[in-house]
Structure 1
Amino acid sequence: MYRERLVGTEVRSESARRLQQLLLDYHDFRHYKADHRLLDSALTVADWQARRLKQTHRDLYQHSGYQGGLEFLLTDLYAPANMTRRDDNIDRVFPKMVKWLPDHLLDTLSGLVELNLITQQLDLELAELLDERDMHARTVTVEHYCEVYRASQKLEQRKHQVMLVADVGQQLDRYVRNRTLGWLLSMSRTPAEMADLSDLHDFLHRGYSAFRKMDKVNVLIDRLVTREQQVMDNILSGHPEPFVLPDDL
């Protein structure tokens, strides 16, 4: 819907150019995915993986100090769904973002966009691999999942995906320690609603609130990355219980 606005916006820094290209790539992929015959299967795969993540990290989810931040990190960022309006609004306000935001914030936004793009590309690839083997996404088993995971042509992207979660989480943690950001989010709620940007504002405020409540975010992220890297190793090596991890992870 807003592709012309993305293309027509003049950018003057490498950070702005990177964000512009990622938003264009994400915009085009979202429209490609929306018309894909396996769209429902891709969404089912995303739901399956979101449930798996919560099971693998259930001890962290049950920790009162981490639950909100982890929910935001793994649901809004790692396995996003039903975010079409939010994503369209990011495209819509891109000209203002590159005009008013500093490069370090544009870099963080680039990480968020890249994470969403890679996640959805990988979900669609798994749906396609399941379909090639006449496996139904709605009845996928751990064995089926691991089989198509090992057949993936995008294993390097999967490794990068995990590291993006860590990078984005660490950057968000740095920003929420600035109390001015919380004040600005509170003051901008009404203008956001008037500009039909309430969904984007809610997304930002939810992330701010979740991370603001957490201590030692670096410890949480280190555990997430270590565990997910072990899960990947388990799957690729054919471990019979790839999602069962040692107690010390």
Structure 2
Amino acid sequence: MSEHTKQIIRHLHGVKTMQDIAQKGGWLQRIRRLQAWQCQRLMISHQTSYANEKFKPAITFFVNELYGPKDFSQRDKDIARVVNKLSTVVPDKALQTLATALQLYELSFELDFEMVKKLSDQDLNRARYLEAYRACNNSHGRQQQIYLIEVLGNHLAEVVKIRGISALLLLSRKPAKYAGLDALHTFVSDGFKAFKGIGKVEDFILPIVYHEQRLMKLMFAPNQPNPLPDV
């Protein structure tokens, strides 16, 4: 078993464990509401990138397929079913990219779970969000989250350049459907399509990373005005 395969299994197990704990503790729906609010914030903060036709699919993919309140359980089950066979049919770089995506997914859920415990059960707004964000006091985790966004963006840009990857995705569509792996195939295909026409990846990812790092520093800085946009 390759190291990337082990990482994929570990991240899937980590997310599943946290989701089960959140479900049993009555936290899961509150986490979903938090994720929905944060997705709106991300779209407002990065509306310039979203308005760029080259970048719009990538922004949408990050928000809808890697982070948001969507139920990813079927996709995760698909990955768990075939993960031991993936290394025989997909390039190592693609496995590495999937491992990074799941690492970001796991870390984001962990940060959200921690944050809902600091939030009251009132309607979420920018003031309550900032108060809970600061109360978590987890700047290292937040910095790691932003770093993984940059790493994943670069990995995805490299994967779409792999020779034959487009044909592989096209040829595997029907077999994936017959095998009950629609959710996984859709996730991979959407990621490929989103980054295929992005051009120079630095032009897309660096402004996002710079903005999120600056926002994070302002949010953790004491006695600073609230830097969040109205959501």
Note the 1:1-249 alignment, pairs <5 A: 11=1, 13-79=2-68, 81-130=70-119, 135-136=120-121, 139-237=123-221, 238-243=223-228
TM-score (norm 1): 0.85
What SS does the aligned partner of 2:110 have? helix
CA distance in 1 between partners of 2:90 and 2:164 (Å):
14
CA deviations over 1:146-195 (Å, ceiling 9, x no partner):
11100114321111011101101110011112351111111111100000
Matches of 2:109 and 2:25, distance apart in 1: 12
Moved over 6 A (4+): none
**How many angstroms apart in 2 are the aligned matches of 1:201 and 1:171?**
18
Specify the SS of the correspondent of 2:117. Answer: helix
Are 1:16 and 1:106, in contact at CA under 8 Å, matched by a contact in 2? yes
Distance 1:213 1:182 in 2: 13
Identity over aligned pairs, percent = 29
| 2:154 alignment partner AA | Q
Amino acid corresponding to residue 41 of structure 2 in structure 1 = R
The aligned residue for residue 247 of structure 1 is: none
In terms of mean alpha carbon deviation, does 109-118 or 16-25 score higher?
16-25
**Pairwise CA distance, 1:243:** 2.9
| Alignment size in residue pairs | 228
SS at 1:78 equivalent: coil
Q: Which amino acid aligns with 1:236?
A: F
Q: Any stretches of 5+ residues in structure 1 without a counterpart? A: 1-10, 245-249
Q: Deviations over 1:101-125 (max 9, x none)?
A: 4543332221111111111111111
Q: Contact between 1:85 and 1:199, CA under 8 Å: does it hold in 2?
A: yes
Shift of 1:99: 4.4
What is the CA-CA distance between 1:213 and the residue it aligns to?
Answer: 1.7
The AA in structure 2 aligned to 1:225 is V
Deviations 1:112-151 (A, max 9, x none): 1111111111111111111xxxx225x1121111111001
CA distance in 1 between counterparts of 2:139 and 2:7 reads: 23
Q: Describe the SS at the equivalent of 1:129.
A: coil
Instruction: Tell me, in whole angstroms, the C-alpha distance in 2 between the residues paired with 1:98 and 1:208.
Output: 18
SS in 2 for 1:124: helix
The alpha-carbon distance between structure 1 residues 78 and 166, as it changes in their structure 2 partners (threshold 3 A), is: farther
- Give the aligned CA root-mean-square deviation in angstroms: 1.7
Asked if 2 retains the 8 angstrom alpha-carbon contact of 1:16 and 1:98, the reply is: yes
Which one is further off, 88-97 or 222-231? 88-97
Flag the 1:74–1:125 CA change in 2: closer, same or farther, 3 A: same
1:42–1:123 Cα contact (<8 Å) kept: yes
Listed as ranges, the gaps of 5+ residues in structure 2 are: none
CA apart distance, 1:220:
1.2
- Name the structure, 1 or 2, with higher relative contact order (CA <8 Å, separation 6+): 2
